[in-house]
Amino acid sequence: PSISAKPDNTKNMKGINCVVAGIDWSGGGTSGASRTVVHIWGWDQLNQKLRTLNFRIFPSSNPVADIKEIIAMLQAYNPACIVGDAGEGALPNSMVKDHFGAHRVWQVQYSGTSTKPWSWNGVDKYVVDRTCMIDNFLIFLKQGRAAYPPYDEIREPIKDILNEFEEVTTSGKKVWRHSPQLPDDSLHAQLFGWLAWKLHFNQLTFYDNGSGGRRQM
């Protein structure tokens, strides 16, 4: 069975000005630890915070098998912008786009070699620097700008964030990694939802540790 938050939707939506969503599609994974995760954020403009409205973790290794449930979940919240992982999600992203329209559904692909934090490939997706995006999202969390439900409800997504660790390669480059046995899918679903919020409000400036300052797409 899928793992999901069970918030009081009426209470949870109070003060929300905009809803966005992120989807990290399962790639199967050699260890079977990879899962599809949907994370739905609501923008609380008064308090300047992204609030977790709901999430769902699907154990299936085939994201297309869960597409009906995912679309129904998204329809319940009617997000203004949805960002899906392009790495494993070309087909399911296309199916989500069919339901919500190309103006609301965007693909993002991580890159470890990108020279920019964020760029459009000119065809069908944004390409982002993986380390830079994780750095920026974790800074966002550290600043207290994300609100979560009680720990008992959000335990699994929090565990996924804590499974990520920083490492320096032999060439001296900082990267984020996780054990193949310890998933980090919820981290990326949250990050993609955060990117959907930034995209919707056109706040595409990022702190880039590699360049020593803030850079825009």
List the pLDDT tens digit at each of the 217 positions of the chain: 667 766 556 567 889 999 999 999 987 544 456 789 999 999 999 999 999 999 999 987 788 888 999 999 999 999 999 999 997 778 999 999 999 999 999 999 998 887 889 999 999 999 999 999 999 999 999 999 999 999 998 999 999 999 987 877 777 777 787 777 788 999 999 999 999 999 999 999 898 765 444 444 3
CA 181 to centroid of chain Cα atoms: 20
3-class SS letters over 159-201: HHHHCCEEEECCCCCEEEECCCCCCCHHHHHHHHHHHHHHHHC
CA 58/CA 148 separation, integer angstroms: 20
Pick from 202, 210, 213, 212: which is nearest to 132 by CA? 210
Q: Which two tokens stand for residue 167?
A: 């490492």
Q: Which two tokens stand for residue 139?
A: 């800074």
Contact criterion met (CB below 8 Å) for 67 and 217: no
Q: Residues 6 or more apart from 76 whose CB is under 8 A from it?
A: 9
DSSP letter string, 100-129 = H-TTTEEEEEEESS-SSSEEE-SSS-EEEE
